Structure 1
Amino acid sequence: MSGIAATTGPATTPGATVMAVAVLGVAAAAVVLLGWATFLPKNPVQWVGVVLGWMLVAAVMPRPVRTGDAVPLDPGAFPHTHELVSSLAAEIGVQPPAGLLVSTAFGARVMDAGWRRRPVLTVGLPLWTCLAEDERIALIGHELGHLRGGRVRTAVVAHAHGLIERTATLLTPLPRDAVSDFEDPRLNVVRSNAVMNGVGRGLLAATSLPAVLLLLTFERITSRERQMHAYAADLSAAQVAGTTAVARLLISVANLPGLHTVASAAVRRREDPFDALSRSRRDDAHTAGEVARARTRARTEGRRWDAAHPRDDLRLSVLEAHATQPGVDLLAAHRSLACRADTELANLRTTLHRALRDELLETWM
């Protein structure tokens, strides 16, 4: 996902928590009942039902969240980067994430990784490269702001959401144009399965309807607080970087498609995409006209109601209504750490160059 995001799971409204506990309770009861049925005497048809039940359990059961190809940052090799994150976390009032990683994504995110769902922070090196110093502080501050709140409740809701989503996905019909044709070489006749595929889609649509409705209801309950959580994360970022820096970050992130094009063009010219992104970095503040145009674009972008983050024009308005600026000495300390962290992370450009180049070429092709 491009930009700044949080994937720690849906928000933790009381309604969502109650619904999540109910879903997990029903799932646990179903597994217990299936286990009990497994040891009862059965005929062959009943055995088929039990086997299918366990296959369904295996398909929808919770699983660890992977961090993909992101590179873990060892505290010994990247001491200033870890110090920056720890310092900002202390200022915001949260525990530092359990892990710190760097990827080739044009974004950053906090996610609960592994079976224990420990929070880890992943920063995309392309995004980091094209941001100004204060924007980098705001970026880390925003992601750390997502760590505020009840972790146990967040984990419960995340597990329930994953279970509902996997169930709905498992039962969702194939696209309407997914029609298979099989040729019988003995008769040299092409037999179309369009009718049977249509029947199958209808049966799956009816079967999946309860799970899909449950998923939509669950996400509807959580969507508002997820957006409120994004506002709170912006204010946390302003606490350590200043309101102006967070506003600049929002506008820079909104321009990520353009920066992606800049990096892709550099790769096609056989140039270093990180160098091209560095040259695209703006150290001057956006003008009032640029901010106004950013607001207009945000109002017309048609963001979905269940988006993890609200529109940028609304976020800018909230930031302006709660303008804040950290102390001069504190901000100077953060900038010093961000500068040293950038020196450390710049050493990874050679390591990630090939992976980023391949991703950009694949996207372009």
Structure 2
Amino acid sequence: MEQTVQPCPQCGTEIRTDRRFTTWCSACDWNVDPVEPDERPGHVERMRRGIAHRYGERLLAEMTRGESPRPRRDVAGVLAYAVALCVHGVTVALFVTGALLVTLGRGGAPSVLGAFLLGLAWLFRPRFGRLPDDAPVLHRADAPRLFALIDEVAACAPTSGVHAVAVTAEANASVSTYGVRQRRLLTLGLGLWEITTPQERVALLGHELGHFAHGDTRHGVIIANALHSLNSWRYLVAPIRNPSGLEVILNAFYLLPFLAVQGVMMLLDQLTLRAAQRAEYLADATSATAASTEAAVALQDRLLVCGPAEALLLRESNARQVRGAAKRDEPGQGLWDRLAAYVESIPEGEYERRRRVGVLRGHSVDATHPPTHLRRACLLARPAEPAAVRVDAAAVAAITAELADARQVVARCVLRG
């Protein structure tokens, strides 16, 4: 720790801080959030964040009143599915019309139009996901102890486990599905996995598997694919920036379709926004049930420093490019050891600063996720839960051995840039 001491320019309080991190005053919050946003949000985004803030405050009140942590099927949810099915209905109509025109057009202009409509239908078709080809993927036979732990945590949700685990360098974790049969995929980012304790890892698994257990609508194939189709439509009819003479006419032609697509996207976004935030709180509840409230709260604190963790990985990559081939055979494990040591050295004052920044920014980063400080407050407001799943030293060692090859592969990818 490289400590510095200086008086606060605003209130005169003595500030002791680590020079590697932002200098700020805990007494008056001077310089607590020195980073200015890259650009001011537009009207639509400001409205979205305002609605998200109101939803978030009400949801926090509901969740801390001790209500049963179960997902709700409300009017908004039913309407969201109805809108999503209408979006898919447009894709089906394009396909059927295109197929008929191609079949009956006999090679003339109708066939050309039909082929165009079939191309649009292909562009807007539902996606079922697939296993990543740029990251190591583990199956049950490759990592039996890791999958056994996942099964133990899943039983707390309750839900079933996963069919595959993808390992990446991100300081994040997520769940998704792949294939027509909607098999389950857990993506573990070593940037987060390597900076957490064994019990915090249980909390992380509990949170991610909780999304399966509580039916997160935005992860579902119907709504997720509807949002994908709408994004494709918006890209297709988006106005051209800095248009020329002819492009001005084209922009005028696209205006109504663009506004229609934008309106449907906003509608579907708002209909699922509350459910998306609730899903995060419910997933946190599963996290506490599996790993204990203490571990779930500790995981929330770890999430605060994912940014510095990713920054270190980027610096390591850049430094490797400068060194060139001098350390080409450096073991990959050294990268994860340095990452863990760096995060362990982050002082408590930096955690506290980031908590206060979260309070100031509110839902400004991601409206679909409640701010970390609200999720943390919700966990602390509910009765403390003991751990249903505990990981002993033998299990930690076995899982570490199962991930060893993936660690090496991912570390080499990071160091190669």
Q: TM-score range by the shorter chain?
A: 0.7 to 0.9
Structure 1 counterpart of 2:371:
311
The alpha-carbon deviation at position 290 of structure 1 amounts to 6.4
Cα separation, partners in 2 of 1:269 and 1:57, compared to 1, 3 Å: closer
The 5 A counterparts of 1:1-365 are 13-41=77-105, 44-68=108-132, 69-150=134-215, 154-174=220-240, 176-177=241-242, 194-270=244-320, 272-282=334-344, 292-301=352-361, 303-304=363-364, 307-327=367-387, 330-333=388-391, 337-359=395-417
Tell me whether 304-313 or 114-123 shows the greater mean CA deviation.
304-313
Tell me whether 244-253 or 294-303 shows the greater mean CA deviation.
294-303
| TM-score computed with the length of structure 2 as normaliser | 0.70
Cα separation, partners in 2 of 1:269 and 1:21, compared to 1, 3 Å: closer
SS at match of 2:162: coil
The alpha-carbon deviation at position 151 of structure 1 amounts to 8.6
The alpha-carbon deviation at position 351 of structure 1 amounts to 1.8
Tell me whether 157-166 or 131-140 shows the greater mean CA deviation.
157-166
Contact 2:309–2:343 at 8 Å: present in 1 too?
Answer: no
Q: State the identity as a percent.
A: 25
Cα separation, partners in 2 of 1:59 and 1:266, compared to 1, 3 Å: closer
The alpha-carbon deviation at position 201 of structure 1 amounts to 3.5
The amino acid across from 2:285 in the alignment is L
Contact 1:60–1:163 at 8 Å: present in 2 too?
Answer: yes
Name the CA distance, whole Å, in 1 between partners of 2:283 and 2:396.
19
Gaps of 5+ in 2: 1-73, 321-329
The alpha-carbon deviation at position 143 of structure 1 amounts to 0.4
Name the CA distance, whole Å, in 2 between partners of 1:238 and 1:343.
27
Give the aligned length: 329
Cα separation, partners in 2 of 1:333 and 1:258, compared to 1, 3 Å: closer
SS at match of 2:221: helix
Contact 2:198–2:391 at 8 Å: present in 1 too?
Answer: no
Contact 2:209–2:283 at 8 Å: present in 1 too?
Answer: yes
Name the CA distance, whole Å, in 1 between partners of 2:131 and 2:272.
24
Could you give the per-residue CA deviations for residues 73-107 of structure 1, whole angstroms, max 9, x where no partner exists?
A: 13233111111111111122101022222112221
Name the CA distance, whole Å, in 2 between partners of 1:77 and 1:114.
20
Cα separation, partners in 2 of 1:132 and 1:151, compared to 1, 3 Å: closer
Could you give the per-residue CA deviations for residues 123-156 of structure 1, whole angstroms, max 9, x where no partner exists?
A: 0122211112222111111101000145999322
Gaps of 5+ in 1: 1-10, 180-193, 360-365
Tell me whether 12-21 or 254-263 shows the greater mean CA deviation.
12-21
| TM-score computed with the length of structure 1 as normaliser | 0.79
SS at match of 1:218: helix
The amino acid across from 1:318 in the alignment is C
Name the CA distance, whole Å, in 1 between partners of 2:249 and 2:197.
56
The alignment's C-alpha RMSD in Å is: 3.0
Cα separation, partners in 2 of 1:170 and 1:163, compared to 1, 3 Å: same
The alpha-carbon deviation at position 16 of structure 1 amounts to 1.2
Contact 1:132–1:282 at 8 Å: present in 2 too?
Answer: no
Cα separation, partners in 2 of 1:275 and 1:267, compared to 1, 3 Å: farther
Could you give the per-residue CA deviations for residues 49-85 of structure 1, whole angstroms, max 9, x where no partner exists?
A: 2222112112111233234322111323311111111
Contact 1:223–1:305 at 8 Å: present in 2 too?
Answer: no
Structure 2 counterpart of 1:187:
none
Contact 1:223–1:306 at 8 Å: present in 2 too?
Answer: no
Cα separation, partners in 2 of 1:309 and 1:129, compared to 1, 3 Å: same
The alpha-carbon deviation at position 269 of structure 1 amounts to 4.2
Cα separation, partners in 2 of 1:30 and 1:196, compared to 1, 3 Å: closer
Tell me whether 73-82 or 198-207 shows the greater mean CA deviation.
198-207
Structure 2 counterpart of 1:7:
none
The alpha-carbon deviation at position 292 of structure 1 amounts to 4.9
Cα separation, partners in 2 of 1:92 and 1:102, compared to 1, 3 Å: same
Contact 2:125–2:229 at 8 Å: present in 1 too?
Answer: yes
